[in-house]
Structure 1
Amino acid sequence: MLQMITWLNKNFSSLQPTRAIIMRALRHLRPADRKKLFSEDIPEMRTAEGRWFEAIVYEMILDLSLQTDLILSVVARGADGPEKVRRAQLGQNGLFYSNIGDIKVRGNGQDLAEVDLMLVDHTGALTFGEIITSPADLKEFEAEIHYKKQLLGYLYGQPTVPFLLISSVDISRTAVVRRLLREPDNVLLTTPACEDLKALIRPRDLKRSPPRRIRHEKLISIPEIAPRRPFDYKKLHDERLQSIIAAVTSSKGVGELGTPDEIPPIVKKVLFGGLYPSAVRMLDARYPIRIKGKTYDPDAIQKQFSKVVLAVNIPEYRPIIYLRTRDKKEYLKMVPSRAGGFKFESRRTPHMAGFFLWLESVRPSLGAELTRELLDAFPAVHVPPAPAAGEP
């Protein structure tokens, strides 16, 4: 299973990205993104550069795959993905393409993970790759890689899921990468810097219309690598939900949270359900909601929000409150505040299609007592301290 990544580790540097490869990679970028490669707006330019670099690596791997039988297939992405894709919807489980050809793993329609590169070796085993252009991208990276290994390992019945980390900068000395490389099924591949690659083209080259799709003997599509075991993410989610409630309400209490069990560890977020009015009142009294400095009482919450959903992130068991606004099609994501209770962090809109649909499907199911037990059990949130005597 490790023969392919060992071969790539040895031979990747033998293929230098040529102008032909770099020009071919432009076919994966939309015209607007191609223009941004030389934009004076640095954030825009870096984003376009990142997508372009992913495409360059993909084209390099396609060329390298013809040099060895150890690479059985390369999973199509970008411009080689299908022209029409399935929009996210509840009940979707497995691998899907996004509207720009990214490879997504969905559970009940929600995007659980995205992989930049996917290969199949000569034994039929799956390998995935992540492609980065900056060491700043490494925050939470290690946990993400281990989660993707668990997820793909579960879907494809692989005890080991090899991983390729491809970078345009030397990140071999960073603590995260050093830890990852201690694992025998991980490999780091390095290319010339993006600036050096970009020096091989000129802005006028971007005006050409590159071919959209190519024929390649080793290209396969996502439907050709269907998961090898049944995958019902909603069922796994509900099993995890019930296990958390059982632990919190049992005599052993919160101590049971995180104890290994038979449920596959691939559920990262549990949606407990919507709060009944009694639970909203308890929430306000015990764990107040603050949005941009303003504390909302139960009447204000009921007036401005049509739904209050309680969730928790795993494995840190960090609770989250989602508030469905009445005047806009969006949810406000509320996270634990250092001062106690919950504070506003960000918005969740229909752009996050699968997860938004899941939130929309949630109905009230939690009363005050169970909501309090759950929140009291999660150490990431706490009750605000009582005002000192004499304070207003």
Structure 2
Amino acid sequence: MIPWLNTNFRHFKPTAAIAINATRHMHKLERKKLFSPDIEPMRTAEGRWFEAIVYEMFLEISKKSDTIRYLAMKGADAPDRRENVRLGQNGLFYSKYGDITIRGNGQDLAEFDMLLMDSDNHVAFAEVVTSPSDLKEFEIEIAYKKKLLGYLYGQKITPFLLVSSIDLSNYSVVKRLAKDKTNAIIHTSSCEEIKSLVKHYRPRIIYNLPENHPKLIRATDIQMKHPFDYKRYHDEVKNRLFSETAKKPGSRIAPVISDTTGQLVKKILYGGLFPPAIRAVIDNYGMTVRGKKITFEEFPKLYSKAIVATDLPNYELIIYLRSRQKKEYHKLIQMKDGHFKFERPTPPKVGFFLWLETIQPTLGAGMTLQVLDAFTIHERIKK
């Protein structure tokens, strides 16, 4: 499929019919924003539109090629019945907008712009890009998704397609991806060129309902080859890391996680902090939320809970604070000078919020500082 797409897809450009048909995957408000003079919402709507255009193009091209065996439904074609996020969910799910996601214990681990199966029964995925600004973490994300699909579907090779509306060939990340023969890099028409095809349909864009398609399947019908118990994999890695920090108290560590299931874990939640541990973090590292330094005396008025975590594979430290004012967690990341600074809120509608809600205080001051010292990027403040 990959060589065939690299050779043939380049010459297949979106038509006005495909561009208009793609709007059936967008909400009415999103369609209006496509031609908005306000740049930011227009670009957001444009990205959603282009993703739908690529899907519509694959609906067309898959009819003409035996190298594509199946194409997973998405957007307006996704099944009407979609499971709400809840703890314990593992595997493939559709979001309420018809996006394809893989969840681990209810947490969204990966989202796929498109999911396909080739003639060799390899499950492949696509990422659709409209801006080079998204490329910073792109390579790590693609490697993780390959690993995740490879494990779930028992395949050594996981084909990947990058489809962009802009020329990314000079970017080092894309150059490296292009060297891998299991990847296809496809540059199609720009959003401006596609818009010029449909400009006569403004402000009311017409769109057609989907037709029966011989190769469309539900993503959730693709049978997984391996069991997937994400919470168990998480706890196994967490226990191993506790053992590693106990062996070298006060030392920085970065253990290599070599087992297959451990490499699927994206984040470790070490536990909630008892009040002495919260004081120890504030005294030794410091916390700042939206420009305000948090003191230990103020903490109980603002927050009901603190949780220590690290992102994997690079062990970046995170602290999650449960707000008393609003149903959300404040995510704090460690800065270069060692203190923890607010990055963004974690809203209640995501599966990860539900997981955070289950975590109770288990860590005292000694254990908390042991974990923080093991993964910190800076010498902690000496009092």
- Give the TM bin, normalised by the shorter chain: over 0.9
- The amino acid of 1:303's aligned partner reads K
User: Equivalent of 1:147, from 144, 147, 155?
Assistant: 144
Residue from 287, 295, 298 that aligns with 1:297 = 295
**4+ residue segments displaced more than 6 Å:** none
Cα drift, residue 261 of structure 1: 4.1
Number of residue pairs the alignment of both structures matches: 382
What is the percent sequence identity of the aligned residues? Answer: 47
Structure 1 residue runs of 5 or longer lacking an equivalent are 387-392
Q: What's the offset of the Cα at 1:259?
A: 5.0
Offset, 1:356: 0.8
Aligned residue identity for 1:151: L
Task: Tell me the TM-score normalized by structure 2.
Answer: 0.95
Match for residue 337 of structure 1 among 321, 335, 339: 335
TM-score normalized with structure 1 length: 0.93
**Aligned residues of 1:94 and 1:226 also touching (Cα < 8 A):** no
Q: Distance in 1 between matches of 2:41 and 2:203?
A: 16
Give the CA deviation at 1:375: 0.4
8 Å contact kept, 1:276–1:368: yes
Aligned to 2:29: 32
Match runs of 1:182-197 below 5 Å: 182-197=179-194
CA distance in 2, matches of 1:248, 1:206: 61
Q: Which shows bigger deviation, 60-69 or 208-217?
A: 208-217
Q: Distance in 2 between matches of 1:54 and 1:326?
A: 38
Secondary structure in structure 2 of the residue aligned to 1:118: strand
CA distance in 2, matches of 1:283, 1:118: 43
Q: Tell me, in whole angstroms, the C-alpha distance in 1 between the residues paired with 2:95 and 2:141.
A: 19
- Aligned partner of 2:321 in structure 1 is 323
Equivalent residue number for residue 250 of structure 1? 247
Structure 2 Cα separation of the partners of residues 314 and 210 of structure 1: 43
Q: 2-side partners of 1:284 and 1:53: how far apart? A: 46
Taking the TM superposition and a 5 Å limit, the aligned residue runs for 1:186-265 are 186-202=183-199, 204-205=201-202, 207=204, 209-251=206-248, 254-255=252-253, 257-258=255-256, 260-261=258-259, 263-265=261-263
Task: Tell me, in whole angstroms, the C-alpha distance in 2 between the residues paired with 1:51 and 1:15.
Answer: 20
- CA distance 1:256–1:165, change in 2 (3 Å): closer
- 1:159 to 1:264, Cα distance in 2 relative to 1, 3 A: farther
Q: Give the CA deviation at 1:341.
A: 2.2
> What SS class does the counterpart of residue 258 from structure 1 fall into?
coil
The one-letter amino acid of 1:322's match is Y
Structure 2 equivalent of residue 48 of structure 1: 45
Q: Any conservation in 2 of the 1:21–1:60 contact (CA below 8 Å)?
A: yes
User: What is the rounded CA distance, in whole Å, between the counterparts of 1:206 and 1:63 in structure 2?
Assistant: 26
Give CA-to-partner distance per residue, 1:105-137, whole Å, 9 cap, x none: 111111111111111011211010101112222
1:390 aligned partner: none
Q: How does 1:1-392 map to 2 (within 5 A)?
A: 4-202=1-199, 204-205=201-202, 207=204, 209-251=206-248, 254-255=252-253, 257-258=255-256, 260-261=258-259, 263-351=261-349, 353-384=350-381
Q: Deviation of residue 285 (structure 1)? A: 1.9
Conserved in 2, the CA contact under 8 Å of 1:25 and 1:52?
Answer: yes
Q: Secondary structure at the match of 1:299?
A: coil
Shift of 1:187: 1.1
Distance in 1, matches of 2:70 and 2:198, equals 30
Structure 1 residue 295: Cα displacement? 2.6
Gap runs ≥5 in structure 2: none
Distance 1:375 1:263, change over 3 A: same
1:389 aligned residue: none
Q: Distance in 1 between matches of 2:146 and 2:315?
A: 21
Letter in 1 for 2:324: R
Shift of 1:101: 1.0
Does structure 1 retain, via aligned residues, the 8 Å contact 2:338–2:376? Answer: no
| Conserved? CA contact 2:127–2:161, under 8 Å | yes
Of 158-167 and 286-295, deviating more is 286-295
**1:140-162: CA deviation from partner (whole Å, max 9, x where unpaired):** 11111111111111111111111
Partner-residue secondary structure (3-state), 1:201: helix
SS at match of 1:298: coil
SS of match in other structure, 1:332: strand
Contact 2:102 2:108 in 1 (8 A): yes
